Amino acid sequence: MAPDFYTDGQGRVRPITGKKGGAGAVVAAGVLVLGLVGSTGVAGGGGLLGSSAGGPPGSAGVAARKVDGQKAAKRGDRDGAWQRMGMRRLDDRVRQQVECLSASHGEVREFFTHTPCTSLDRMVIAVGDGSGNNAVLSVAWVGFRSARDMRAFKRIEDRHGSGDIRPLGASLLGLADITFTGHYYGTDTDGSTITIAEAEPAAGHVDPETLDALAEVAAYLPRPDGSRG
């Protein structure tokens, strides 16, 4: 289980934000990710992870990169969003469906029994910094009939131990199992749609602050092309 605190680049102990104590949905990650990382790094030299980074990461540096990454994500520049985080996309898969009940568990699933969603798009994404430090992200876009229904869902989804939308089966990427803990978590809302993103380390060293920032960037990604509103 990931720690509840991390030490930032200035030596301060800080809490990890996110949805603590989630039910731990399992996704596959690791095997393919390791094979996909090449010897060349991200443009600009290295990422912001560990000693391979182009300079000391520092909490201010990660925070600034996160803001830039979110701006790129909102513009629909997916690859640019990862580049601003010192990463590159290694692989991803998307699945779309019209109901959420079968893809959820816990109180989240109970919510869907009386307030069904109108659409569900899920994506699993592998990213890495080119130096063996890799992460896997789960992103889900959930549509509702109204903004009121979406807000009611968000109150449950954000709460400790409330269940979750299951990540895509990561066998789609041919990866080994990783458990999404909910420690590294981000959401964004747009009208009657909520985007839920989670991150976990897959290989090498990805520090908690960076994982949290990756999830918060992923939450700003637009729905995949061709998905329902």
Is there a domain that residue 148 lies in?
A: yes
Domains held by the chain: number: 1
Cβ atoms of 181 and 1 closer than 8 Å: yes
Per-residue pLDDT tens digits for 124-174? 999 999 999 999 999 999 999 999 999 999 999 998 788 889 887 555 565
pTM for the whole structure: 0.76
Is there a domain that residue 12 lies in?
A: no
Higher pLDDT, 30 or 94: 94
Is there a domain that residue 229 lies in?
A: no
H/E segment holding residue 62: helix 58-74
Is there a domain that residue 28 lies in?
A: yes
Is there a domain that residue 116 lies in?
A: yes
Per-residue pLDDT tens digits for 53-88? 333 445 568 999 999 999 999 999 999 999 999 999
Is there a domain that residue 152 lies in?
A: yes
Per-residue pLDDT tens digits for 103-138? 999 999 999 999 999 999 999 999 999 999 999 999
Which of 15, 87, 11 minimizes the C-alpha distance to 49? 87
Q: What separation, in Å, do the N-terminal and C-terminal C-alpha atoms of the chain show?
A: 36
Cβ atoms of 107 and 156 closer than 8 Å: yes
Is there a domain that residue 87 lies in?
A: yes
In the chain, DSSP finds a helix count (H) and a strand count (E) of 6, 11
| Mean pLDDT, the chain, integer | 77
The domain in which residue 142 lies consists of 18-218
Is there a domain that residue 6 lies in?
A: no
Q: Cα 44 from chain centroid?
A: 23
